Chains A and B, each alone.
Chain A
Amino acid sequence: MKNKSLVSINDLSKEEIYSILDLAEEFEKSPNPKLMEGKVVATLFYEPSTRTRLSFESAVNRLGGRVIGFSEASTSSVSKGESLKDTILTVANYSDLIVMRHPIEGSARYASEVSPVPIINAGDGANQHPTQTLLDLYSIRKTQGKLDNLKIVMVGDLKYGRTVHSLLMAMSRFGASFTFISPDELKMPKEYKMYLDELGLKYEEHSELAPNIKDADIVYMTRVQRERFSDPMEYEKVKNAYILRNHMLEGTKENMKVLHPLPRVNEINTDVDTSPKAYYFTQALNGVYTRMAIMALILGLK
């Protein structure tokens, strides 16, 4: 992975995924290795995503590196109409690695083609967010002891949800089976189901939450956003169908864990938070170790 950019989860081989997860595990055990001393990471956030940015910055700090960057395009030279290419070529002079979040789809791939330093895609519009997927994989392996042959239940906005699409692509490489739970309007797109068919992997589709999580190893919750609905009445009908409550966890598997990319709004009731099956806050913490591992490997420090 040395000197390679990370644009899409699909760019990584299984071996590369394992080496990232293994190193993340090492960092979890000793979270302050000064491997990145003297290195500068630029975080270019063209749209706000405080969580992702803080997670990256925490990761750089734990590795002993330094961070420069901006978190809002409107206050930077970008607002003066500078092209992405020019910004990347300039910032590459100031840094060893660029972490970029950009609202335009494909911007990360393009940046990786023009940049002399590696780019890590921290989200390009609705397209890719590979470090989120890697921290999801890390969380799954840590809680299940393996990635192979797990039963993944995905809940909520499966139509537009970038995180569920990437996770599906990644987990399908490990022979997972899937249950999709969503309102009719937000069903998993056909292309992903066709992809699973091609691989011979099983999936089911349901619209009810509680009865369909009993045999899950992982329940991956996402937000159903009001703005996705053309008819506000439709949203009102479904919004409560997807609130996970503590009592629904009765009778689920012992090893089952609830994940959520955060922020949540009301799709996981706070009474779930104290359950040993609630894992979303630890999942966010895992993001720091995973991002440390990704950066250390790309910079050739490990």
Chain B
Amino acid sequence: MKDKKHLSVSAIENGTVIDHIPAQNLFKVITILGLDKIPNQITFGTNLESKLLGKKAIVKIADKYFERDEINRIAIVAPHAKLNIIKNYEVAEKMLVEVPDQISGIVKCVNPKCITNAEDVTPKFKVVDKENVSLKCHYCEKITDQEHMQYL
């Protein structure tokens, strides 16, 4: 089993491995971190077995280390994600993501009558529930929950 996993997603020499991403949110993680716009070598695997999540995804980004607040952005779609910082094929450090208190510019406000959906205004939210991730709009004060989340 362990060997098969190694075959499906190859090892990297230096960089970051993001593990325990819910399979259905893999592409959201890619978008949120802007991985679709960087030149680094990226490999990913999805629908891998996971005791915790049922099906999980994993992303390996060569030669890239993230800032703390950058990585916390993915907490809203992958609250259980684990990061392995790889140096010289070895795990040099492990990190967990933390759902931030506030987020800005990642998620759309669910309210179609909100100013952020009417004019060129960056949506900002207060995270009111970190467990299930629900967000209160700084402008219209409506709640956007995980189920209705759309990404910018």
Interaction A to B: yes
Residues of A within 8 A of B (CB): 8, 83-85, 103-107, 109-110, 124-128, 191
New A-B contacts (9) at CB < 8 Å, excluding given A106-B141, A110-B121: A84-B119, A104-B113, A104-B119, A105-B140, A105-B142, A106-B116, A110-B115, A110-B119, A110-B139
Q: CB-CB < 8 A to A8: which residues of B? A: 141
Q: CB-CB < 8 A to A124: which residues of B? A: 140
CA distance A104 to B142 in the complex (A): 13
Interface pair A106/B139, CB less than 8 Å apart: yes
CA distance A84 to B115 in the complex (A): 10
Residues of B within 8 A of A (CB): 109, 111, 113-116, 118-121, 137-143
Q: Is the interface of B mostly helix, strand, loop or mixed?
A: loop
Interface pair B140/A127, CB less than 8 Å apart: yes
Interface pair A105/B120, CB less than 8 Å apart: no
Interface pair B115/A105, CB less than 8 Å apart: yes
Q: CB-CB < 8 A to A85: which residues of B? A: 119
Q: CB-CB < 8 A to A191: which residues of B? A: 143
CA distance A127 to B143 in the complex (A): 12
Q: CB-CB < 8 A to B120: which residues of A? A: 83
Interface pair B139/A109, CB less than 8 Å apart: yes
Q: CB-CB < 8 A to B143: which residues of A? A: 191
CA distance A8 to B140 in the complex (A): 10
Query: How many Å from the CB of B72 to the closest CB on chain A?
Result: 24
Query: How many Å from the CB of B112 to the closest CB on chain A?
Result: 10
Q: CB-CB < 8 A to A128: which residues of B? A: 141
Query: How many Å from the CB of B115 to the closest CB on chain A?
Result: 4
Query: How many Å from the CB of A253 to the closest CB on chain B?
Result: 34
Query: How many Å from the CB of A133 to the closest CB on chain B?
Result: 14
- A-B residue pairs, 3 tightest by C-beta: A106-B139, A106-B140, A105-B140
Query: How many Å from the CB of A9 to the closest CB on chain B?
Result: 11
CA distance A162 to B97 in the complex (A): 38
Interface pair B141/A127, CB less than 8 Å apart: yes
Q: CB-CB < 8 A to B138: which residues of A? A: 106, 109
Closest to B118 in A: A104
Query: How many Å from the CB of B111 to the closest CB on chain A?
Result: 6
Q: CB-CB < 8 A to A109: which residues of B? A: 115, 138-139
Interface pair B114/A105, CB less than 8 Å apart: yes
Query: How many Å from the CB of A192 to the closest CB on chain B?
Result: 13
Q: CB-CB < 8 A to B109: which residues of A? A: 106
Q: CB-CB < 8 A to B115: which residues of A? A: 84, 104-107, 109-110
Query: How many Å from the CB of A299 to the closest CB on chain B?
Result: 25
Query: How many Å from the CB of A109 to the closest CB on chain B?
Result: 5
Query: How many Å from the CB of A170 to the closest CB on chain B?
Result: 15
Query: How many Å from the CB of A286 to the closest CB on chain B?
Result: 26
Q: What are 11 A-B contacts with C-beta separation under 8 Å?
A: A8-B141, A83-B119, A103-B113, A106-B109, A106-B116, A106-B137, A107-B139, A109-B138, A125-B113, A127-B141, A128-B141
CA distance A110 to B124 in the complex (A): 11
Q: CB-CB < 8 A to A83: which residues of B? A: 119-120
Interface pair B111/A105, CB less than 8 Å apart: yes
CA distance A88 to B142 in the complex (A): 24
CA distance A110 to B114 in the complex (A): 10
Closest to A114 in B: B121
Q: CB-CB < 8 A to A84: which residues of B? A: 115, 119
CA distance A124 to B115 in the complex (A): 10
Interface pair B139/A105, CB less than 8 Å apart: yes
